[in-house]
Structure 1
Amino acid sequence: MENEPLIDEALKSELALLYRAEDRHYHSLAHIGAMLALAEEYRRLLHDRSAVEAAIWFHDAVYDSRAKDNEAKSAALAEQKLSGRTTPERLAHIAVMINATATHQLPPLDDEKATSDAALFLDMDLAILGAEPDAFDAYEKAVRREYGWVEEPMWRTGRAAVLRSFLARPHIFHTAEFRQHLEPRARQNLERSLAALEG
């Protein structure tokens, strides 16, 4: 059971439908594809690649920009759909990783390997912050479209608070690999975006 991929083609098709919803401008299949590509790129560092890939596929499965419990609902969906496909312990690790995307703080896990995988997973999810300026700007526009119902002054205040909270952290990324490659540009992108929001 452990060696089988957790996400089969039927489940991929089912999840792909959710990611193709019209109101998804950033949290779409393209985002999942980008994260899966990073999982492939960093596969030598992953201890349980199948579990990380399952977390990638499910982490934004439920996405409503008006809701506050998307991560919890996505984790619950993962537990429901993957029940019987793997051990309860592994399923718990997947759920913990998904829930951690609510804050992008490293979750408390009793297992060093699971913690390492969670750190990489969270960094993959935030890799866009350290993208080239054009790609980062396109991401910002896409997220704004997902929150199209929020009036501009409220959006600026809320988004600025989110960006400031990331900038206030000692490190945006949890792993040495991502810090080395993406941290400086992520800070530049966030500072530039913050200046535009507050300008």
Structure 2
Amino acid sequence: MTSLLTTDRFAAAARAAGATAPDSVLTEVGTELINRWSEPQRFYHTTEHLAACLELVGDEPAVALAVWGHDAIYDPTAADNEERSAVLTAELLTECAVPVAVIEEVTRLIRLTAGHAVAPGDRNGALLADADLAVLAAPWPDYVRYVAAVRAEYSHVPDDLWRIGRSTVLQSLLALPTLYHHTPTLESPARTNLHRELSSLTPTPPPPTG
């Protein structure tokens, strides 16, 4: 799937969104984004995840550009990756001479991925959120591999703190009224996986004594 990631693919999305910069600029920006998604600290948030999301969102230009930018900055030690990715993407799309209104929509969508809460009627937000969370509904062995890849990205975090942090993430996802807006058939398997992982992170209380 990652073989589908080319600078031409980025350029096509940028052109569809109204970019007017020369082809050489679009190629340069596309190369920078692919290089960022290929950084060594990434185990899940890689070009494979990027390619999978692009396949799921289809041809909507603003959503496709948001996919390209939503994890353009990924530092597992930082808490503001979405915001920094939004700012960077705005700068890169400005270089591409993408219309300002489109850039504003792209950055709004990137910021939405910080919590994946989608307002009613937000079609673009629903497309992006569904694609970004699609892995949660994967068959259990694939889901386990996804979790292991995320854990590898957070290898600097001790196990006890990982369990606390990961549990918080899972609980926030389970608290969303709806995980999927365009693909409701994913809702049940995703919630089953989330509950199963959350249970594995919760210590079993000792049996009563006396």
For residues 51 and 120 of structure 1, the distance between their equivalents in structure 2, rounded to whole angstroms, comes to 11
Secondary structure class of the residue paired with 2:44:
coil
Alignment of 1:1-199 (within 5 A): 4-5=15-16, 8-40=26-58, 43=59, 49-83=60-94, 85-106=97-118, 115-173=122-180, 175=181, 177-179=182-184, 181-199=185-203
For residues 30 and 37 of structure 1, the distance between their equivalents in structure 2, rounded to whole angstroms, comes to 11
TM-score by length of 1: 0.85
Task: Count the aligned residue pairs.
Answer: 183
TM-score by length of 2: 0.81
Q: Does the 8 Å CA contact 1:75/1:98 hold for their aligned counterparts?
A: yes
For residues 84 and 14 of structure 2, the distance between their equivalents in structure 1, rounded to whole angstroms, comes to 27
Query: Which amino acid is the alignment partner of residue 84 of structure 2?
Result: K
User: Which has the higher Rg, Structure 1 or Structure 2?
Assistant: 2
Offset from partner CA, 1:69-111 (integer Å, 9 cap, x none) = 1111111111111115222111100000001111111269xxx
For residues 108 and 158 of structure 2, the distance between their equivalents in structure 1, rounded to whole angstroms, comes to 33
Offset from partner CA, 1:44-73 (integer Å, 9 cap, x none) = xxxxx1111110001000010111111111
| CA RMSD between the two structures | 2.0
Q: Does the 8 Å CA contact 2:76/2:153 hold for their aligned counterparts?
A: yes
Extract structure 1 runs of 4+ deviating beyond 3 A.
5-10
For residues 24 and 36 of structure 1, the distance between their equivalents in structure 2, rounded to whole angstroms, comes to 18
What is the CA-CA distance between 1:3 and the residue it aligns to?
A: 8.1
For residues 169 and 95 of structure 1, the distance between their equivalents in structure 2, rounded to whole angstroms, comes to 22
Offset from partner CA, 1:110-150 (integer Å, 9 cap, x none) = xx6xx211111111111111111111111100000000000
For residues 116 and 176 of structure 2, the distance between their equivalents in structure 1, rounded to whole angstroms, comes to 11
Query: Which amino acid is the alignment partner of residue 28 of structure 1?
Result: T
For residues 96 and 170 of structure 1, the distance between their equivalents in structure 2, rounded to whole angstroms, comes to 21
Provide structure 1 residue ranges, at least 5 long, that are not aligned to the other structure.
Answer: 44-48
Offset from partner CA, 1:142-167 (integer Å, 9 cap, x none) = 00000000000110011011111211
Query: Which amino acid is the alignment partner of residue 149 of structure 2?
Result: A
Provide structure 2 residue ranges, at least 5 long, that are not aligned to the other structure.
Answer: 1-12, 20-25, 204-210
For residues 148 and 103 of structure 2, the distance between their equivalents in structure 1, rounded to whole angstroms, comes to 34
Q: Does the 8 Å CA contact 2:85/2:110 hold for their aligned counterparts?
A: yes
Q: For the structure 1 residues 69 and 132, does the alpha-carbon distance in structure 2 shift closer, same or farther, using more than 3 Å as the test?
A: same
